[in-house]
Amino acid sequence: MRIAKKVAKSAIIIMVFTLSSKFLGFIREVLIASKFGSGMETDAYFVAYSATYMLIRLIGTGLNTTMIPILSEIETKKGKAKKDFYVNNLLNSVGLLAIFIIVLGWFVAPGLIKIMAYGFKYKEFQLAVRLTRIGLPIMIISGTCYILTGYLHSSESFFVPAVAGLPFNFVLIIYLLFFSQNYGIMGLMAATVLAELIMLTIQIPAVKKLAFKYRFIVDFRDTYIKKALLSTLPVIIGTAINELNGIIDKTMASSLVEGSISALNYANKINSLILGVFITAIATVVFPVLSREFNKDNIEEVKSVLGYGLNIVILITVPAATGLIILSKPIVRVFFERGAFSSTDTIMTSFALVFYAIGLIGSGTSLLLSRVFYSLKDTKTPMINGAIAVAVNILLNIVFIKPLKHGGLALATSISSIIAALLLLKDLSRKIKDVYFEPNLKCLIKSILAAVIMAVIVYGLYSLIRDIFIGSKLMELIALAVTAAVGALVYGILCFLFKVTRFLLF
């Protein structure tokens, strides 16, 4: 339990800075909605950003995920010099690959956009192609960021990677406030590239403090490079499978009414705020701890940290999902409805948000459990389960898109994420002997009961005070904040009264 408490303290530090970054990210999204609305330009921008970021994210996430156990092994067996050699080798190898992809991407951009958004008309299609070409440098910048982040996390240095998102959002906010009227959506993509570059430069001093020195090394025969490729490939495939869910949603949404892609994007941003701030922080800190304890064969401590992490995921996602469902419209209206973002856009976005929120606990659990498997050096199981989830998502998309439109796409994603989480739980119980999830199930039941009571109080309170604050965005924001604070307080008190396991430690 000592390690579990340490995990909680480190995670809280990350949460604070990540929350600040996400808050700025929300301001960024609000400004994009205000300046460009929810239509052709934003649809083209979000598709183009996904196209430029997708491939390098697959490679970067794979390397970042497998780096921590490999770097731990290298430093233990070979020393820090070999560890730095390996990181330099990765940086240069990925850099060369990214340059090749950038050159290739310039020529294949039209075909890529046709695949990702087959419903785009000529004008929207041409805009998406141009935006994709502008954003291509993101690949080499982001790939380098992933590797440096993995190096810092392996040294249990979490502060700088968490802070790096702040300047990224500042750059885009400045552009949207002062330059977007003159340079439009094309300038927004250029500003995105600049923001990625600044995010990279923030990490360099932190890496230097660890006595890391850059050298141009490219050695594909290195034993650990080969080992990384073997373990990274399933992670890349698994990440690609997860990305495929989003691509499939955007592709199918492009055949619906204009603005459907943007509505899904804005709703997913709100839903992902919970995952990005809280659940990712837990997973980030738990990952190196589990890797270390597995290498020590300290299975009891592994079970303790795992159970603690799952309980925190439950305690966060259950009330968060409930709140998003109950207050979906006022949340979207307060954050996005201004400028070009109309009341119709609010209805479309809040409709998708309700269905995305249903799968929040599944997404959070999957995120944590995938890291557990990676710490076990098992990268195949998350990949296989992810493939099953995508198959379910495609099937449910076809079933739900007609009656629920873009909301059906969000619902299909949520159901597939819950199925993925259940499959991972089943496989983990086989992987680790004598691991039991009964305490987590009890935590889940009590959390749901507390959330239901909280929902009744929150709905009644907001219904009581909303008419008082209607017509003023600032006052409505205050009403929303007060309601959310009361809901959180009620939920916390109920968890205490219900004696939810480890609640006090959190």
3 pLDDT tier (thresholds 50, 70, 90): low
What is the DSSP annotation of 91-120? HHHHHHHHHHHHHHHHHHHHHHHHHH-TT-
Task: Count other Cβ atoms within 10 Å, centred on residue 489.
Answer: 12
Are the beta carbons of 418 and 388 closer than 8 angstroms? no
- Of 407, 384, 386, residue with least CA distance to 396: 407
The pLDDT mean for the chain works out to: 84
Give buried/exposed letters for 139-157 (b at 16+ CB in 10 A, else e). bbbbbbbbbbbbbbbbbeb
Q: Residue 474, exposed/middle/buried by CB under 10 A (0-12, 13-18, 19+)?
A: exposed
Q: Which sequence spans correspond to the domains of the chain? A: 2-497
Element (H, E) at 487: helix 473-497
Cα dihedral across residues 347, 366, 25, 506: positive or negative: positive
43, 254 Cβ separation under 8 angstroms: yes
Confidence band for 377, pLDDT divided at 50, 70 and 90 = confident
pLDDT (0 to 100) of residue 2: 56
- Select the more confidently predicted residue: 14 or 43: 43
pLDDT at 486 over 60: yes
Q: What is the 3-state secondary structure (H, E, C) of 367-409?
A: HHHHHHHHHCCCCHHHHHHHHHHHHHHHHHHHHHHHHHCHHHH
The pLDDT score that the predictor gives to residue 505 is: 45
Longest dimension (CA), the chain: 69
401, two tokens: 């898109």
| Contact predicate 299/372, CB 8 Å | no
Residue 488 burial (CB < 10 Å; 0-12/13-18/19+)? Answer: middle
- What is residue 416's predicted lDDT score, i.e. its pLDDT? 92
The pLDDT, as a whole number, for residue 172 is 92
- Inform me whether the pLDDT recorded for 484 exceeds 70: yes
250-283 confidence digits (pLDDT tens): 788 888 888 888 888 888 888 887 777 777 777 7
HSE, side-chain direction, 13 A CA sphere, residue 133 = 12
Task: Supply 242's token pair.
Answer: 């997860």
Q: Which two tokens stand for residue 290?
A: 């589990």
Prediction pTM value: 0.72
pLDDT of residue 415: 94
Q: Closest Cα partner for 143 from 81, 93, 107?
A: 93
> Contact 95/140 with Cβ under 8 angstroms?
yes
Taking residues 178-183, report their average pLDDT: 91
Q: Rounded mean pLDDT of 219-243?
A: 76
Tell me the C-alpha distance between 405 and 108, whole Å. Answer: 30
CB atoms near residue 398 (< 10 Å): 12
Task: Quote the CA–CA distance of 107 and 33 in Å, as a whole number.
Answer: 30
3-state DSSP assignment of residue 472: coil
Three-class secondary structure of residue 501 per DSSP:
coil
Q: What is the DSSP letter of 1?
A: -
